[in-house]
Amino acid sequence: MEELIDLKRIFGAISRGKWYILGAIGLCVCIMSIYLWFIATPVYQSKTQVLVNQVDSSETNIQAQDVQANLQLVDTYSAIVTSPRILKEVEKELGNKYSQAELGGAIQVSNNSNSQIIEIAAEYPSAKGATEIVNKTAQVFERQIPNIMKVDNVTILSQAQYSKTQAPVKPHKSLMLTLSFVIGAIIGIMIIFVQTIFDRTIKSVEDLQDALGLTVLGTVNAFEPEQMELEKNIEKESARNEKKNRTEAINRIQ
């Protein structure tokens, strides 16, 4: 049998079950905090920039077609940065501390639209490792381009700088904690919603009217056992007093 639950009942159920929501939020945030501070591995990022310029340094006038040619080369050069030839040389010059697979997973290449600048980034569990990977990749790339493309048109604009106080870029603690808060709230509301759907108990006069389709004329409050015993004692005492008064009245008449 399909039942319709009105908004008033839903909000009432949420109000009564707020501890489920608070408990679910607390549990999710606690689990996420343990993961972020004791389990997750921090990841650091370092960046460097290289310029692709096909124009010869002796030329003073830069033609529009030269600039367009440079922009077309950027996409090709971006792929060359992470090619096995470059990564193998980087691995060798870093003393085989990192495998080609590690280097390929750590290095990221990007460039802005209509820009001759290529940005090389490296993400690694240590800030020092990320810095040396990205700097060495840029140096090898600049040195190998003349051999690959037969033209010397790559210049390193900036190198990554290592800092002991560098903050990790992953995991995003504030974002993850906010997400765990939201997930906890959703889980708590889902628990309350499921309970409301399958709950068949009568909790109010309105529930009784909805269930039976009858109008309630009156209600009888529930009595606790102690209260009922007290009521009985009061009634007995009242009966004894009444009997005593009746006997005294009869005696006075006689």
If you average pLDDT over residues 111-138, what whole number do you get?
90
Using DSSP, state whether 122 is helix, strand or coil: strand
pLDDT beyond 90 at 253: no
- pLDDT digit string, tens, across residues 166-181: 999 999 999 999 999 9
The pLDDT, as a whole number, for residue 142 is 92
d(CA 73, CA 54): 9
- pLDDT digit string, tens, across residues 27-51: 999 999 999 999 999 999 999 999 8
pLDDT band, very low/low/confident/very high, at 68 (cuts 50, 70, 90): low
Give the whole-number percent of the chain exceeding pLDDT 90. 44
The pLDDT, as a whole number, for residue 30 is 96
pLDDT band, very low/low/confident/very high, at 188 (cuts 50, 70, 90): very high
Place of tokens 């009634």: 235
How far, CA to CA in Å, does 179 sit from each of 31, 33, 138, 150, 168?
12, 12, 37, 51, 19
pLDDT band, very low/low/confident/very high, at 185 (cuts 50, 70, 90): very high
Tokens of 250: 């009869």
Tokens of 185: 């709230």
What is the average pLDDT value for the chain, to the nearest integer? 82
The pLDDT, as a whole number, for residue 222 is 65
**What would you report as the CA-atom Rg of the chain, rounded to the nearest whole angstrom?**
40
DSSP codes of every residue in 35-47? IIIIISPPBEEEE
pLDDT band, very low/low/confident/very high, at 245 (cuts 50, 70, 90): confident
Using DSSP, state whether 174 is helix, strand or coil: helix
The pLDDT, as a whole number, for residue 150 is 83
This prediction's pTM: 0.66
Tokens of 39: 């389990």
Among residues 133, 76, 71, 145, the alpha carbon closest in space to that of 108 is found at 133
Tokens of 88: 């193998």
Burial (CB < 10 A; 0-12, 13-18, 19+), residue 183, is middle
